[in-house]
Amino acid sequence: MAESKVVIVGPSKSGKTCYLSTLAVAGWKRAAASESYSNDGSSDLRCVVKPINQAMQDLSKNAQKIVIEGRFPINATMQVSNCEFDFEVEVPRRKFLGGNAWVKHHSHVHAIDGPGGSIFGTIGGVATVDERLKEYREQLVSHAKVADGLLLCIDATDEESAGAYFIDLPDLIQELEHWPFKRLVILLTKAEKLVPHELGAIDQLKSMSAAKYVTYLIGPTLGMLRSYGADVPIACGWCSAFGFVPGEGTPNYNPQSEEDDQLLSVLPGMTMPQKIRSWEPFRMLEPLIYLASGERGSLELIE
């Protein structure tokens, strides 16, 4: 079994908390052969997410409330948590004599979930020199020094926040002393907000180039990343914790909600199985699949 280590970072309000919270649920739904993952371009892969510390378990339990209450109880956190989980993916490899052999890939994933991930403070409003955050930042840097994969989260709807990468990310890279990463993914979160709230919006999102959008948002930062990891391909893609209404393709949030946190698909009178089936997070697992195995699915490479 191939082993790797991954770190997840991102500016404040970049969608890290939502992403971490919904990963376990996305894994369970995929394991149940949910038809939604035929949209991933990698639906034949077997995946599992295993929270291994209390902070990650708490986030996963929080996400389970979504199908009960029909809304997201998950907001950008102002507390700092050290989240760790294991991710496993089995990739089919065709045998010469017919049938498939499954190759298992395993990643240990580490993330600091907090304001700016304890790294991005200049724009996010949190000074990384704060004594409360120093220990967590040092832990993340320590994990990053021996990591094989790096996942960078960007709020696709917030150009100002994306600018934090240009200002703060070089500090992190310099602290690593050398470039350890073999794979890099830039993940555009909250992608459901980029398309009209209408039927078939999911197809509009699929037709949009994540690579072009990332280049627009953080073009100069890409140059910095390439200067440190010249031979490492940069993959990117869309994701949405809200997802899209199954069978309709409408962004699965209620635009009439005052706090913008209600699922559109969860209606009064629904049974629990109906509620569970109505929530389909969009492409949450693809970045981890790529970082663990190299299977790119619908992720694009930035030229």
CATH no., domain 2-301? 3.40.50.300
Q: How far apart are CA 107 and CA 303, in angstroms?
A: 26
Q: Please provide the average confidence, as pLDDT, over all residues in the chain.
A: 83
102, 139 contact by CB (below 8 A):
no
pLDDT for the residue 151? 96
Q: What is the pLDDT of residues 23-67, one digit of tens each?
A: 887 877 776 654 443 444 455 677 889 999 998 998 888 777 787
What are the boundaries of each domain within the chain?
2-301
Q: What is the pLDDT of residues 165-186, one digit of tens each?
A: 888 888 888 888 899 999 999 9
Q: What is the pLDDT of residues 215-230, one digit of tens each?
A: 999 998 899 999 998 7
pLDDT at 298 over 90: yes
* CA-wise closest residue to 149 among 297, 287, 299, 2: 287
Q: What is the pLDDT of residues 84-137, one digit of tens each?
A: 999 999 887 765 455 567 788 999 998 877 655 455 654 444 444 566 667 777
Q: At what angle do helices 164-175 and 210-228 cross, to 10 degrees?
A: 30
> Phi and psi for 163 in degrees, rounded to 5?
-65, -20
What percent of the chain stands above pLDDT 70? 83
Using DSSP, state whether 19 is helix, strand or coil: helix
Residue 211: both structure tokens together: 């690579």
Q: How far apart are CA 219 and CA 237, in angstroms?
A: 15
Q: What is the 3-state secondary structure (H, E, C) of 22-67?
A: HHHHHHHHHHCCCHHHHHHCCCCCEEEEEECCHHHHHHHHHHHHHH
pLDDT for the residue 241? 92
